Structure 1
Amino acid sequence: MDLREDFLQLVWKYQYFDKKNLQTETGEKIEIVQIGFHNFGEGPDFHDSVIRLDGVTLHGHVEVHKFSSDWKQHAHGGDPAYNSVILHVVWENNQEVLRNDGTPMPTVELKGKIFLDVWRNYERLLDYKSELPCAHAVRNVPEIIRFSTLEKALVERLHEKSELILSLLNANKGDWEETTYQWLFTCFGFKINAQSMSELASKVPYKILHKHRGQTAVIESMLMGNAGLLPEESAETYVQFLIQEYKFYQKKYSWDSQLKRQNWSFMGARPSNFPTLRIAQLAAILSNAPNLLQAVMEDSRDFLAFKKLLQVRTSDYWQYHYNFGKASEKQVLKGISETVLELLIINFVIPIWFSYGRYFQQQEWQERCFDLLQEVKSEKNHIIRKFESAGWEAANSFDSQGMIGLYKTQCQAKKCLQCKIAQSLIKSESK
């Protein structure tokens, strides 16, 4: 079995070993008064530990290694952060470690002391070769533990997204309206065109478009022109109008640079996700929304309200076009699909709410995020299918977003023993 260092950390953290007659490798009696706080960052593994060594109380840190020789291999001897280590916990003491003053480092060896049931559970329940190391056992974990694990992963995922939004807010000098507008564009890019959509929003400020509310074609001309997607000329009357309007506003607002068609991905995108059609939909949304921030914060409290905000009709041209120039034989699907609406709630509305709550320190926005996520159906993607194959179904997007966060931060990195699910699976009954 591949004995991992994080397993030994877990053994120390939960004291899954026999402490009777516990001694250092040099024969000093050890009493563990305080385990310490698990440190997942730089420095010793456990901070603020307390032990008694032959009756003498020591305060400091505990470092855990597979082999005692790892101390020198990791160059801890020359790192001041490790000067306060009071105990070296190792699986095997294969080399003497000295303090900076030349005295032996107090070391305790765990070989032969770890509880047998912990060993067996670790070997049996965690398969690190699998994409989900606990896949064959996760269904046996109590539901309350699985729920709390998903909740933690979900909060961390929302926190990560909110960092992006708050960074935008800072760049926009605290303007929530502009930040919400830019985040809407980024989300409408759906990964494949997210960066280009973000750049487009930064080129055409919301306050300019808001002046032309109710003028869908004018807003469309500004966005298509700055996106670099308008043709230079066209035989189609509507497209000619867009070109003329863009040229007028280009001079008025001194737009001297624009994106280019090569900035946008059409290949690999379904026609319904072409950037031209998405920009036309955005133009219709912005033309109809009286105030974007208010619409997102107050008028989108449930799925039906959000659906009303986004299910607006594009201009007639886009009823039969996915791109400029060539009409579709069949009518383009009306409005935004239910699946896309659900994705926009997850990726647009929820992160804005969460960020707003963080910024103004209003906890109720986090609760609103959780409530809305439980109303929205689970996403269906390769990550969710991995959990479903293991017998863990996602009931809604609260679950699926938690699963995505858990997979990306814990499962992929094989940080299983930082996860409550794996900790539950290898839990000892000996204590």
Structure 2
Amino acid sequence: MANFNEDFLQTIWKYQYFDKNSLETTTGERIEIKKIGFHNFHEGPDFLEAHIKIGKLEYHGHVEIHKYASEWNQHEHQEDSRYNSVILHVVWQHDKEMLRQDQTILPTLELKGRVFLDVLRNYERLITKSSELLCADELPDVPDILKFSMIEKALVERLEKKSILILDSLAQTNNDWEETAYRWLFQCFGFKTNAIPMGKVGSSVPYKVLQRLSFQQRSLEAILFGQAGLLEGETSDEYVLDLHQEYLFQRQKFGLKFACHAHEWKMMGVRPSNFPCIRLAQLVQVLRQNPNLFSTVLHELDNFQNFKKIFAINLPSYWQEHYRFAKKAEKTTTKGLSKDSLFHLAINFVVPLWYTYGKYLQEPEWKEKCIDFLQTIPAENNYILRKFKAVNWPVQHAFDSQGMLGLFHNYCSQKKCLDCKIGQNIIKPQKMGRPEKKRKFG
């Protein structure tokens, strides 16, 4: 059993899945573990602030984990001052004596022959499976509360990533939450496929400019379509010609810098209802109805029904007959936001904005509000979520689906089972009796 990485040994140390009777260093000094330390997920030793008694002396410092002792030098720890405070080197196999930077011998504990056999077997059985969900067969035996906890953890990590983007935007706008919320809305309206060009358009026009023009639909359309590069090229369409003239005037008036060109928008494989012209036309209506967007989302929204009212829009007659400029559609439709679009915006616009706002103000109740809100939104339906459904893990609402997406992308697909509470539960010993009565791997 040597087919494992360092993270497996970190788990063994973290949960003490080894026989601790008569522990000794490789030089024969008795070891007593009083405190394992805090798992460090950043640079530096693996476990910080440990408390270990070696021989007759008690030490407070750090613990470093390696598969082979010689990796200490391979990783150049002997030249790194951060490792001078390592009080115990925990390895699978002690293949060579290691020295600290000051040339003192590094106390080493060899785990080979001490790790519980059922832990090794459970881990080997888990990682050798070919399924994308390695834990699929064991999931029925995993407590529901643990699965819920892992979904919540993956969801919060997903929100943390999005909060970094929002906080970056907040810094760029001198802590203007209205401007930040407006820019975030544009990016979310790109619906992944066109998030980048849509973000460019939002960042290129100050929100205060659009607020001033909130009662002038023609001016709003001209600015957004013009900045998007969608008024370029020759045409005989009077509506386009009129918008182009208005855009030239407004662009000069407000000193707008061109945002992007028409070729930057992706059209291949995109449904007509998701064409950039339609999305920008919808944005115009949303901004007209909500001139103080962030305040509205913050103070007038507490459930999904209110959200639908805020985003209930109908497009002008031109866009009821067109999906793009100068080309009539076969059917006439109001082209309001579809249910799926509303779900997408509630999940990806509102929730990350609330979460980031709470994080910024250090008000944890916003996190709870996000979780409650997600539980009122239906779950998405895609090929990833169908994998969880196939192994009888219900996907009941957006809290589940968002957590499962985070779980799949950040853990399952990367085979990070040992960082997952579910994986940790699967590899643990079946019985937590006295260590000396457990079978060991030799």
Which bin holds the TM-score, normalised by the shorter protein?
A: over 0.9
Aligned counterpart, 1:361:
362
- In the TM superposition, 1:118-137 aligns within 5 A as 118-127=119-128, 129-137=130-138
For 1:174 and 1:245, locate their aligned partners in 2 and report how far apart those are by CA, in whole Å: 31
> Partner amino acid for 2:24?
Q
* 1:334 aligns to 2:329 (yes or no): no
Question: C-alpha distance in 2, partners of 1:287/1:316?
Answer: 16
In 1, distance between residues paired with 2:20 and 2:133?
Answer: 33
Deviations 1:77-114 (A, max 9, x none): 11111111111111111222233444432111111111
- Show CA shifts across 1:259-281 (max 9, x none): 21112111231111111110011
Aligned residue for 2:406? Answer: 405
- Cα offset for 1:192? 1.6
Which letter maps to 1:349? Answer: V
Does the Cα contact within 8 Å between 2:219 and 2:246 map onto a contact in 1? yes
Q: Distance in 2 between matches of 1:419 and 1:244?
A: 57
Q: Deviations over 1:398-422 (max 9, x none)?
A: 1111112222222233322121111
Identity, % of aligned positions = 51
Secondary structure of the residue aligned to 1:52 is strand
- Cα deviation, residue 283, structure 1: 0.8
Does 1:57 pair with 2:78? no
Counterparts of 2:110 and 2:125, CA distance in 1: 24
Partner secondary structure for residue 89 of structure 1: strand
Residue 88 of structure 1: aligned partner: 89
Matches within 5 A, 1:241-390: 241-332=242-333, 334-390=335-391
1: CA distance between counterparts of 2:29 and 2:377?
60
Deviation at 1:9, TM superposition (A): 1.1
**Does 335-344 or 399-408 show the bigger shift?**
399-408
**Does the alignment pair 1:415 with 2:436?**
no
CA pair 91-155 structure 1, distance change in 2 beyond 3 A: same
SS in 2 for 1:51: strand
Mapped partners of 1:100, 1:173: distance in 2: 46
| Counterpart residue number, 2:106 | 105
SS at match of 1:392: coil
User: What is the SS of the residue equivalent to 1:283?
Assistant: helix
Alignment gaps of 5+ in structure 2: 434-442
Q: CA deviation at 1:311?
A: 2.1
Compared with structure 1, are the counterparts of its residues 129 and 85 closer, same or farther at alpha carbon in structure 2 (3 Å cutoff)? Answer: farther
CA spacing shift, 1:9–1:232, aligned 2, 3 Å: closer
Preserved CA contact (<8 Å) 1:231 1:324: no
TM-score, normalization: structure 2?
Answer: 0.93
Deviation digits for residues 292-335 of structure 1 (CA, Å, limit 9, x no counterpart):
12221122322121112222111110101111111011124631
CA distance in 1, matches of 2:245, 2:58: 82
Q: Which amino acid aligns with 1:423?
A: Q
Measure, in 2, the Cα distance between the counterparts of 1:90 and 1:254.
64
Aligned to 2:164: 163
In 2, the alpha carbon distance for the partners of 1:233 and 1:254 equals 24
Does 1:43 find its partner at 2:39? no
Contact 2:204/2:257 (CA < 8 Å) preserved in 1? no
* Between 381-390 and 296-305, the greater mean CA deviation after superposition: 381-390
Tell me the secondary structure at the aligned position of residue 322 of structure 1.
strand
Q: Does 1:430 align with 2:432?
A: yes
Structure 2 distance, partners of 1:181, 1:152, is: 28
8 Å Cα contact 1:225/1:246 also seen in 2: yes
Q: What is residue 79 of structure 2 aligned with on the other side?
A: 78
Does the aligned pair in 2 maintain the 1:128–1:414 contact within 8 Å?
Answer: no
Once the two structures are TM-superposed, the CA of residue 396 in structure 1 deviates from its matched residue by 0.9
After TM superposition, list the pairs within 5 Å mapping 1:171-190 onto structure 2.
Answer: 171-190=172-191
TM-aligned CA deviation for residue 128 of structure 1: 6.3
Spell out the pairing of 1:1-12 with structure 2 (5 A cutoff). Answer: 1=1, 2-12=3-13
What is the CA–CA distance in structure 1 between the aligned matches of 2:106 and 2:12, rounded to whole Å? 20
Which range moved further: 140-149 or 331-340? 331-340
Instruction: Find the residue that maps to 2:66 and give its secondary structure.
Output: strand
Any unmatched runs of 5+ in structure 1? Answer: none
CA RMSD, Structure 1 to Structure 2 (Å): 1.8
Q: Which moved more, 1:190-199 or 1:255-264?
A: 255-264
Q: Which residue of 1 aligns with 2:32?
A: 31
CA contact (8 A) 1:151 1:402 kept: yes
The alignment partner of 1:403 has SS state of: helix
| C-alpha separation in 2, matches of 1:247 and 1:113 | 76
SS of alignment partner, residue 136 of structure 2: coil
Shift of 1:141: 0.8
- Residue equivalent to 2:151: 150
| Alignment check: 8 A CA contact 1:321 1:332 kept | no
Higher RCO structure, 1 or 2 (CA under 8 Å, sep 6+): 2
Partner of 1:216: 217
Which residue identity does 2:276 align to in structure 1? P
